[in-house]
Amino acid sequence: MKRFKYKAKDKTTGKTVKGSIQAETEQIAGRLLIDQGYIPESVIEEGTDSIFGKASQRVTAKDRIMFTRQLATLIGAGLPLSASLRTVAGQTESKGMRGIIEEIITSVESGKSLYEAFSAHPEIFNNVYVSLIQAGEASGTLDLALKRLAEQEEKDATMMSRIRGALVYPAIILVVIIAVLAFMLIAVVPQVRDLYIDMKQELPALTKGLVGITEFFGQFWWLILFIVGGTVWGIWRFVKKTSAGREVADNFKLHVPIFGGLFKKLYVSRFARTAEMLLATGVPMLESVTIAINAVSNTVVEKEYSKAIEVIKAGKPLSEALSDLNYMLPLIPQMAGIGEQSGKIDEMLGKAAQVYENELDEQISNISTMIEPILMVIMAGLIGIVVGGTLLPIYSLVNSVTA
């Protein structure tokens, strides 16, 4: 028998109560609470918290995608919602995701809609997700809404994975450069210095500079680590914990060489694809655009795109609202205009998103090819300086001895 912490509302008084209850599973605990006259809001097994937080916070994007895909398949096959959720819970390996599903089952069986059950977990299901669920429930196309969600989340996960993968090769090259330079400075330069001292010769200027760098790092390595570590920690805290820091980081993404254009296409395609999903599921235009803007996940772009909301409120079409925005690439308003004329605006936005997604795929594939020669030139230059400061003095000594 397990013990569960619960938060529930009293059906009679409407007051929120907290406590603990013993049961075999979270579902049984939820049913016991319902039998006692409560409406469960959350039921969590005691001891599931850790230094890393609650299990719900450890749910990955992959867990959410698998859950969404399985639920869409089962509901589409005609299985009742509650039975579909139980089946998915039984097939889910992630403890965190299983715990969330069991809480959703408890909420649904207590009379809440699926939309309300998902809304109770904003750390897992964002505005786009719950809005599509709400629209799917209202229109009777829940399975299609879930299918669209799964497909879009898979695309987003694949795209971000490819972007991260494109950065791996340059990162490896930088590590190799640093390792080679460190080896030369630590192992080779001191020997050259000692050789010159033994032969009572004056070191060349380049070698003196390398010796100075080596001695400085040898004496003040702790200070360097402290400064570098403090700087990294300070930047991380500034970016993650402050709105100003996030805005600086988001602005940097838009203007960083090579990657700036890639990020712009990523944000544009994300906006268009999200708007397409929402509009196709029956979400009103203004609400669809508002949620799609929030789904961009860049504060600078979101602030700029938000100007379109006031234009739409004034009664103007989406194509006109998007046409004069910074960071909005021209194909989106053009395709929106075609969609407005043909009555297929969601379909046109989807096609525009696909164009930019294809361009992103091509650009990501070319990133390593673009960066490789630049890194090779940098590596060759730095290693050349170190080699010049170590080998040339040795040749000079050999020449002076033979002379």
Token readout for 256 is 């960083």
Residue 155, phi then psi, degrees to nearest 5 = -65, -45
186 within domain boundaries? yes
Rounded CA-CA distance 292/127 in Å is 9
Residue 139 lies in a domain: no
The answer to whether residues 70 and 156 belong to one domain is no
Contact 348, 338 (CB under 8 A): yes
pLDDT for 217: 82
The reply to whether 40 and 160 lie within a common domain is no
CA–CA separation, 180 vs 390, rounded Å? 14
277 and 398 inside one domain: yes
- How far from 370 is each of 254, 264, 303, CA to CA, in Å? 18, 18, 31
Please identify, among 125, 143, 168, the residue that sits at the C-terminal boundary of a domain.
Answer: 125
What's the pLDDT at 82? Answer: 87
Q: Is residue 246 part of a domain?
A: yes
Q: Which residues of the chain have pLDDT under 70?
A: 1-3, 46-57, 368, 397-403
Same domain assignment for residues 168 and 277: yes
The per-residue DSSP string of 182-210 comes to: HHIIIIIHHHHHHHHHHTT-PPPHHHHHH
How far apart CA 257 and CA 27 sit, in angstroms, is: 53
Instruction: Please tell me whether residues 191 and 55 are part of one structural domain.
Output: no
Residue 223 belongs to some domain of the structure = yes
Residue 138 lies in a domain: no
Q: How far apart are CA 278 and CA 294, in angstroms?
A: 13
- Residue 27 lies inside a defined structural domain of this protein: yes
The alpha carbon torsion through 25, 30, 36, 38 (nearest 10 deg) reads: 160
In a domain, 137, yes or no: no
Residue 15 sits in the same domain as residue 79: yes
Question: Buried b / exposed e across 349-381, counting CB within 10 Å, b at 16+?
Answer: bbbbbebbbebbeebbeebbeebeeebeeebee
**Domain co-membership, 156 together with 121:** no
Residues 19, 96 within the same domain = yes
Q: State pTM to two decimals.
A: 0.68
Of 125, 142, 172, the last residue of a domain is 125
Let me know whether 160 and 263 are in one domain: yes
Sign, CA dihedral 332-335-340-343, equals: negative
Residues 223 and 278 in one domain: yes
Number of domains in the chain: 2
The answer to whether 272 touches 285, Cβ cutoff 8 Å, is no
Domain containing residue 370: CATH number = 1.20.81.30
Q: Are residues 121 and 242 in the same domain?
A: no
Residues 209 and 77 placed together within one structural domain of the fold: no
Half-sphere exposure of residue 175: CA atoms within 13 angstroms, side-chain side: 6
Gyration radius (Cα) of the chain, Å: 30
Q: What is the 3-state secondary structure (H, E, C) of 365-382?
A: HHHHHHHHHHHHHHHHHH
**Dihedrals phi, psi of 82, to nearest 5 degrees:** -60, -45
Contact 266, 156 (CB under 8 A): no
According to DSSP, residue 212 is labeled H
Range of the domain at 17: 2-125
Rounded Cα distance between 330 and 324, Å, is: 9
Task: Return the biggest CA–CA distance within the chain.
Answer: 106
In a domain, 214, yes or no: yes
